[in-house]
Amino acid sequence: MKLLFRICSVGAVWFWACLWAQGASAAVVAAADVVPEATFQWGSSGPNQWGQVGLTGAGLAQVTTDFPNSGNGSLRLDLPVTSSKAGLAYYPAATFGKLSELTTVSYQWLVHSTDVVDQAPVLRLYLRNAQGVHTQTLVYTPDIAGVHGVGLGQWTTADMLHGIVWQGRSAAQGGFDPNIRRPFSDFQADPRFADMVVFAIEGGAGNGSSGFVGTIDNIEVVGPLASVSANFEVVPPTASIQCDKAQLLDSEGQTASCTLSLSRPAETALTVGLSTSGDAARYSGCAGPLEIAVGASTASCTITATANTVRGDGQVTVSVAIAPAANPGDYSLLAGTSVASIQIANDDGEAAAPVVIPPSVAVPVPGLSDGMLVLLSMGLLGCAAFTSRRITPRI
């Protein structure tokens, strides 16, 4: 029986582990977390961030909800003219490690419109030598890798690790075999490339198309020193509320300031609804919506305790709650931070206890039996006779 129990237990653990593995997804990269090209500088703006790079010819790289994939968004790439380029890059603090030791390099792509047959978004790996100089760039381009005939609006998964790639740096830049197409595994085995470290990746598009619109999602690179998985999404800021006092007395001038905060500044003007609960006779305030201006992240309201001199009216709890957003893209709520509570306590003492007078209680006289009554009567008669003889005068 114990053996059967252990088998069932192990089976259950294995079952849930499989479900978890199947449900696991890439880490979310929010649109608001992408660093603009103007402030994204290689090596100086901080590692472990996604930033815009190579925006030329009015090219755009931005996370939008226009082409949802594993959620509500993806990385949209716009190339309005043939000279346009656009991309989003990422570099870890310690590099991904040696090219020969990468175990996963993949991404998903979609083409919405193009005037060039089989043009699609690409993935680039940036390599540097032992001196720390960027000399090689390996590029996965779907049509060069042999992917043809994919229809518009279809998501396609590209496995760069097992595909055909080419080296994009010129000989003048130190590049080996520029523009030569080879399997990725050949580059990993080539001693000139094998020990170079992959210090950054980029998903993007560029050159040749006028009016190209495509998108990328779920970029994944796994190396011995670092890994990244990016599911590009439009994530609303989270809203929370907190009051500066936990308790008020029911006296004059007792107030608490409650501050609504967004996890990042509002991109558009927001109206955030609030609701309150508790004995309305004991407080006022915070019952209406709060306005948050563009670029702002906080707004406040005031709870005022109702002053009174009523003895024994006890303590009440006032709750201030953030209402769900009418537009889900405005903000989101997290359990435990969307409601604030304040105690309003009585400071007038307890009401006097009423005086209780106990009712009078009649004490019953014990009853006598017939025999006892006869004896009592005879005793009284005897006493009377004795008394009469003592008080009769002698003649």
User: Tokens for 327?
Assistant: 């537009």
300: exposed, middle or buried (Cβ count in 10 Å: 0-12, 13-18, 19+): middle
How does pLDDT run across 10-58, given as a tens digit for each residue?
343 333 333 333 333 468 999 988 999 988 876 555 688 999 999 999 9
Q: Which residue has the tokens 């709870």?
A: 303
Instruction: Please count the helices (runs of H) and the strands (runs of E) in the chain.
Output: 4, 26
The predicted structure's pLDDT at residue 23: 34
The predicted structure's pLDDT at residue 2: 38
Q: Which residue has the tokens 């948050």?
A: 292
Nearest Cα residue to 272 out of 247, 293, 243, 250 = 293
User: Tokens for 19?
Assistant: 């479900």
The predicted structure's pLDDT at residue 208: 76
- pTM beyond cutoff 0.85: no
Distance in angstroms (rounded) separating the CA atoms of residues 139 and 167? 6
Please give the torsion angle defined by the CA atoms of residues 173, 176, 178 and 182, in that order, rounded to the nearest 10 degrees: -150
The predicted structure's pLDDT at residue 198: 96
pLDDT tens digits, the chain, 395 residues: what are they?
A: 333 333 343 343 333 333 333 333 468 999 988 999 988 876 555 688 999 999 999 999 999 999 999 999 999 999 999 999 999 999 998 899 999 999 999 999 999 999 999 999 999 999 999 999 999 999 999 999 999 999 999 999 999 999 999 999 999 999 999 999 999 999 999 999 999 999 999 999 987 788 999 999 999 999 999 999 999 999 889 999 999 999 999 999 999 999 999 998 888 899 999 999 999 999 999 988 999 999 999 999 999 999 988 887 889 999 999 999 998 889 999 888 999 999 999 887 555 555 555 665 555 555 555 555 555 556 555 655 554 544 444 44
The predicted structure's pLDDT at residue 13: 32
Q: With contact defined as beta carbons under 8 Å apart, do 77 and 205 qualify?
A: yes
User: Tokens for 112?
Assistant: 């919405």
Nearest Cα residue to 77 out of 232, 203, 218 = 203
The predicted structure's pLDDT at residue 312: 76
Nearest Cα residue to 203 out of 290, 106, 282 = 106
The predicted structure's pLDDT at residue 1: 38
* 369 phi/psi in degrees, rounded to 5: -75, 170
Query: What is the gyration radius of the CA atoms in the chain, in angstroms?
Result: 42
**Count of residues in the chain:** 395
The predicted structure's pLDDT at residue 18: 36
